[in-house]
Structure 1
């Protein structure tokens, strides 16, 4: 089996996220990731978050999980972050859609088996460890790294941070927000990026400039 793309679900999640995030400013990242997570019908959506980070992406991922009848889990490093996160999500009116785990990357990821959509932020010191310890689903997975432009000069490569043996079918850097690096991980027996799915495209409209961008899904 593999992740299957659903344009209708992606569109619904995108629209709902636009409505919920209209008061936030995160340059289209929440809407884009929400549409991707919902469009691939992902069932376990995980993200890492820390005190002081924007909350809009979390809102979008929670909305995606609602549309796929999946789980949205957020990993935070300490109780201060947990409290701030819970308060922010409650203020957005969707706190009931999200579970929060407090702990370091390895400990927090231990009980999360079958992750099929994972979002990390390169601003966080342990973002690479979250990726390394992720237990990905057998249907394949989609990994996303926000604020990718911050580490562009470091020569980052997905295979450096993922568990040995994990195959990246394809990866792409997108000019959304401060840069998004997206990687599609191979399913057990099926290549996620096969020819059958290669014609799928995602349309993204920058909410500030109004520019339209098309990305292959």
Structure 2
């Protein structure tokens, strides 16, 4: 699946995020993520966030959604996190959509996610990735704070290869506190763990009898 990329939109989102995040330490990850979401022209950007989380990444995603004309949804586990997150974002004039609930459950109910950001420090992050529903062109998924977990415990292909989704490419970047990034291609069904493969018929001819056989594969 070919990656559709807009350098111009990525650059604009990057520069705008730099302006918003200049007061935040270690905001380089936010700027990169923002540029990626904008360059991917993401129409549904989803992130998970909880009490005490870094807000710079959220700023970058909000900036990207403005440039793509998309929807930015933040999933938080409780009302306390919702208040903290909304207050921080409102201070800089941004108001993304905030949904309270179990991240796995909420993400399952969101269709055609184009860009997904999760926190590697949270125990459920792998389950959230597996539960995500992607569109026909797939999605870009990002695990932030990747330095906080042992790489041996996480493999992209164990989550997505097989079924209707597969990893096109993945990379670890030592930016900020570590970013694990992957481009996931989705099958025609859009997402999900069960793939219905396309069957095909192959004709075989018996050389001795001359009979023709059709074999379904």
Q: TM-score, normalised by structure 2?
A: 0.81
* Cα distance, 1:163 vs structure 2: 8.1
Tell me the equivalent position of 1:176: 175
Larger Rg belongs to: 2
Tell me the equivalent position of 2:195: none
The gaps in structure 2 that reach 5 residues or longer are 189-217
CA-to-aligned-CA distance 1:88-130 (integer Å, 9 cap, x gap): 11012111xx111111123211321000100011112221121
State how far apart, in whole Å, the 2-side matches of 1:132 and 1:48 are: 14
CA-to-aligned-CA distance 1:50-106 (integer Å, 9 cap, x gap): 0000101000001001100001000000111011000011012111xx111111123
Tell me the equivalent position of 1:148: 146
Residues 84-163 of structure 1 aligned to structure 2 (within 5 Å): 84-95=84-95, 98-162=96-160
Tell me the equivalent position of 1:197: none
* Cα distance, 1:16 vs structure 2: 0.4
The number of equivalent residue pairs is 187
Residues 19-38 of structure 1 aligned to structure 2 (within 5 Å): 19-38=19-38
Single out whichever of 11-20 and 123-132 deviates more from structure 2.
123-132
The question of 1:63 aligning with 2:29 is answered no
Tell me the equivalent position of 1:208: none
Q: TM-score, normalised by structure 1?
A: 0.81
- Where relative contact order (Cα < 8 A, 6+ residues apart) is larger, the structure is 1
Tell me the equivalent position of 1:186: 185
